[in-house]
Structure 1
Amino acid sequence: MAGSKIPVIGQVLNERNQSHDTRKKVIIKLERELGRTVISLFTSFKYPVILSDDDADMLEALLQTMDLSDGIALLLSSPGGSGLAAERIINICRRYSGTGDYWVIIPGKAKSAATMVCFGASKIYMGPASELGPIDPQLSFVEDGRYKRFSLYNIVESYRDLFDKATNEKGNLEPYLQQLLRYDSREIKEYEDAISLSADIAVGALKTGMMSSLSKKDIKKNIKMFLTPKVTKAHGRLIDRDKANSCKLVVENMEKDDKVWSPSYELFVRLNSFVSNQVTKCVESREQSYVSSIDAHQ
């Protein structure tokens, strides 16, 4: 067939389905503005998927085939997931990047474990309404037909509070003992370890990255807003670029008329639609696109 022009019907179908071809030219434009190789990692906010080892595997498989001597810029959108997966993604991005570091671009939301991935970057690009979020681990379960979610931090704190009150009570202990029966001390220890692990991953990523000049104690103090619900009050609460800056993170502000913002936002709109309607996850470069199907999560 002479020529390589896609017929109009093909162009329409590509746009409707948000195929890789509809994003390739935008990725190239963004790479030109940044001077780095752009990789997108999106997990759906619509379907019940999380950032997991599968995403780290897809990312590494993609990076192995590429020339990354100019470094990596990771366009990221995810509600979060596994802290251990986030730690793997940080390590993969650093190890494969020819510059030894990577940048993260957040045109929308990178929450929970996705925020941890941002902590491993040397700088974070954030738009006018971009969001990071708290990284305190959560416990989700169904009880009496109702979906419930609690911060492990709050569970541990409530247990400690009850235990202290029972220990100091000089009169009737029965009310405290009845409430303490709802807790399992072994589980409380597991929760404490999970909280400690989350903080350790975050502090470690920052100590070996954008906050390398600070002590671990000072880093933990700087990001206290992210570690507990005491400030944000809710796990889904937004932490915008002003708050991120106040925590001493290295944030590059993108404004709506910036040359970096325009292609970043277009990629976000296209990929967000893709992982909301066609697939649940997508990891891609200008040349390749790896996805996770909807059927696998239904």
Structure 2
Amino acid sequence: MASWNEILDEIERYRRTHFVPPEVAIDYVRRRYLRRLFNYTKRNIITYYSAFQTKPGIFGLGIEDGDKNGLMMAVHKMDRTLGLDLFLHTPGGEAYATESIVNYLRQMFGTDIRAIVPLQAMSAGTMIACACKIIVLGKQSALGPIDPQLQNVPAHGVINEFQTAYQEISADVNKLHVWRPIIEKYHPTFLSQCQNAIKWSEEFARKALITGMFNGEEDGPSIANSIISSLTNYTENGNHNRHIHVDACVEMGLKIYRLEDDQIFQDLVLSVHHSYMVTVQNTPAVKMIENHRGHLYSLGVRN
């Protein structure tokens, strides 16, 4: 495995020996590791990387509709019979974009899609991973709850707040003055929007699991229901940013391939991951979608 420092050293050596700008050397080294991984797995690779850890607060970090342009570019001229290994490093994003991306990738590769999560695929990123036939996780990797957030507010939390308000005011009308300023901060249709968002996220993830990871399995629907219950349990998870690590993912029933089970594969995956982290740290890139052939769609920092 190439560590961050080793990758930085490779970049510097290539820059000096070939007299190229740093960004050219960064791209060369990263793509070399992508090719090495492809040569080992013989499966198509698309990387879907956000700089959410190194550039928090920047516009464009999350999953959005425009990302499909990058995925279309990456898929173009691929031999789709080889299946797809999809690297995911994302904080999540828009529900409608997530559904559209999953639909597109399924149209291209069927269910022969393997999600690789070297570090984090949170929220909607977890939903994309659940749409794959298997999820590759290391000891350091994490998925996250898929309970929807509206305007950065947990939908389940809003519903719980309304239910508590109703119960307390029904028992004691004098509590109305306590709850009024809390309830008034929500616009009139916000509660129904929260209910619809919860329903959509659960139905989408359940269908994705049944038609992908557990396709054709008799007990698939019941396993999918159990997984959805765990991933959307607002009370148990406590926080939308909770990290759900590999053992917990296995325990809830997800089909997991442990990265440590193949040392060569692990070294290649982590080298690719470190290459992308070095890239987003040392370039303006906010989001990168790239395939093993070196075709790159990159969103840079916007003012």
Q: Which TM-score band applies after superposition, normalised by the shorter structure?
A: 0.7 to 0.9
Q: Aligned AA for 1:206? A: L
Structure 1 residues 256 and 245, CA gap change in structure 2 (3 angstroms): closer
Q: CA deviation at 1:216?
A: 4.5
Is the aligned partner of 1:20 residue 2:38? no
- The alignment partner of 1:129 has SS state of coil
Structure 1 unmatched ranges of 5 or more: 1-5, 141-148
* Contact 2:114/2:135 (8 A) holds in 1: yes
Equivalent residue for 2:237?
Answer: 232
Structure 2 CA distance for aligned equivalents of residues 203 and 109 of structure 1: 21
Structure 2 CA distance for aligned equivalents of residues 159 and 11 of structure 1: 64
Q: CA deviation at 1:30?
A: 1.3
Q: CA deviation at 1:153?
A: 1.1
Structure 1 CA distance for aligned equivalents of residues 299 and 213 of structure 2: 32
Equivalent residue for 1:285?
Answer: 291
Provide the TM-score with structure 1 as the length reference: 0.85
Larger deviation, residues 174-183 vs 219-228: 174-183
Structure 1 residues 164 and 42, CA gap change in structure 2 (3 angstroms): same
Q: CA deviation at 1:273?
A: 2.4
Structure 2 CA distance for aligned equivalents of residues 8 and 184 of structure 1: 56
Equivalent residue for 1:211?
Answer: 214
Match of 1:107 among 115, 118, 121: 118
Structure 2 unmatched ranges of 5 or more: 1-12
Structure 1 residues 291 and 167, CA gap change in structure 2 (3 angstroms): same
Q: CA deviation at 1:100?
A: 4.0
Decide which structure has greater helix share: 2
Provide the TM-score with structure 2 as the length reference: 0.84
Kindly report the root-mean-square deviation, in angstroms, between the aligned alpha carbons of the 2 structures: 2.5
Which stretches of structure 1, 4 residues or longer, exceed 3 Å deviation after superposition?
A: 10-19, 168-185, 214-218
* Contact 1:93/1:101 (8 A) holds in 2: no
* Contact 2:168/2:175 (8 A) holds in 1: no
Q: Which residues of 2 match residues 69-148 of structure 1 at below 5 A?
A: 69-97=81-109, 100-140=111-151
Q: Aligned AA for 1:75? A: F
Structure 1 residues 133 and 17, CA gap change in structure 2 (3 angstroms): farther
Q: CA deviation at 1:221?
A: 2.6
* Contact 2:65/2:97 (8 A) holds in 1: yes
